[in-house]
């Protein structure tokens, strides 16, 4: 199912969208909610494809959604999974904001989700005994995306999928001291390059940690400029020595220090 079909599928469930506040009363949506619905649907398209393909033998999918906000993504996904894949969903949403976490509980109850739990905690500090099959994060601000990726790796999740948000951490580090300063002297160019560089470093970091990575889009940039989706699936074999070479080369080229390395030590070898 493509994004527009999934949006139509969801819009046909007015009651459900109203229950989780992705649609206003009398089926009226405001522009912000329609945009969020489009983002959630676009992300769900890839998640459902990955679940069907790589978690085919599982009856239940254990999901951790980090920086969940109101957990629109997690709740919609947990409702779609049984309907569209025949698999049950067990959702844990994590957000540092306790008020939002209380709201998530309310929305999940209203949507009739039985197997959902929400935790007020910083992603990096989240601990859980149960394993997870799928770690997701939609527009986790700045390094909160790095925390979600680090936590996904540390939890050994077979699938880690993130659509990042603002990438401020690297932006300030690429003003000078690298071979592409003729590009980065221009503010908007530096901004765009920092976004790409941050996300490619994340993808290469996941590769170094033993994941196969694709970079996809959840929709056109007209839907959201924050449309890049990092989709990672854990390979069965252990990462080969030197698997971090591309990550290290790219990092060295720009002389940057990504937070992800600090959040998830032991993946990248020591600098020579």
Ligand X SMILES: C[S@@+](CC[C@H](N)C(=O)[O-])C[C@H]1O[C@@H](n2cnc3c(N)ncnc32)[C@H](O)[C@@H]1O
For the CB of residue 35, give the shortest distance to ligand X in the complex, in Å.
10
Q: Is the CB of 184 or the CB of 229 nearer to ligand X?
A: 229
For the CB of residue 250, give the shortest distance to ligand X in the complex, in Å.
25
d(CA 54, CA 233): 8
Q: Whole-angstrom distance between the N-terminal and C-terminal Cα of the chain?
A: 48
Q: Is the CB of 102 or the CB of 141 nearer to ligand X?
A: 141
In this structure, are residues 79 and 16 in contact, taking their beta carbons and an 8 Å threshold?
Answer: yes
Q: Is the CB of 140 or the CB of 209 nearer to ligand X?
A: 140
Q: Is the CB of 147 or the CB of 244 nearer to ligand X?
A: 147
Q: Is the CB of 228 or the CB of 254 nearer to ligand X?
A: 228
Nearest to 51 by CA among 12, 104, 90, 16: 90
Helix axes 31-54, 3-11, angle to 10 degrees: 120
Burial of 262 (0-12, 13-18, 19+ CB in 10 A): exposed
Residue 141 Cα distances to 28, 42, 96, 125, angstroms: 28, 19, 12, 17
Binding residues (CB under 6 A) for ligand X: these are 67-69, 72, 94-97, 100, 122-123, 138-141, 144, 147, 165
For the CB of residue 221, give the shortest distance to ligand X in the complex, in Å.
17
The residue at minimum Cβ distance from ligand X is 69
């Amino acid at each position: 199912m493509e994004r527009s079909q999934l949006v139509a599928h969801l819009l046909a469930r007015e009651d459900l969208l109203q229950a989780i506040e992705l649609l206003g009363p009398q089926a009226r949506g405001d522009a912000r909610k329609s945009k969020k619905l489009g983002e959630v649907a676009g992300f769900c398209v890839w998640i459902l494809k990955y679940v069907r393909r790589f978690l085919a033998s599982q009856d239940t999918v254990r999901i951790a959604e980090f920086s969940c906000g109101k957990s629109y993504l997690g709740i919609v996904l947990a409702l779609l999974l049984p309907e569209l894949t025949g698999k049950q969903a067990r959702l844990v949403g994590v957000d540092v904001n306790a008020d939002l976490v209380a709201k998530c509980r309310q929305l999940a109850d209203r949507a009739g989700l039985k197997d959902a739990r929400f935790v007020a905690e910083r992603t990096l500090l989240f601990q859980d005994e149960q394993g997870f099959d799928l770690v997701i994060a939609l527009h986790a601000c700045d390094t909160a995306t790095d925390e979600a990726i680090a936590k996904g790796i540390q939890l050994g999740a077979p699938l880690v999928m993130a659509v990042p948000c603002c990438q401020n951490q690297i932006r300030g580090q690429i003003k000078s001291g690298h071979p592409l300063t003729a590009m980065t002297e221009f503010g908007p160019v530096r901004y765009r390059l920092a976004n790409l560089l941050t996300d490619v470093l994340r993808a290469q970091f996941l590769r170094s940690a033993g994941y196969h990575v694709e970079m996809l889009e959840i929709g056109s940039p007209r839907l959201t400029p924050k449309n890049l989706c990092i989709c990672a699936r854990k390979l069965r074999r252990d990462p080969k020595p030197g698997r971090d070479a591309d990550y290290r080369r790219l990092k060295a080229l720009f002389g940057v220090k990504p937070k992800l390395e600090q959040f998830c030590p032991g993946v990248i070898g020591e600098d020579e």
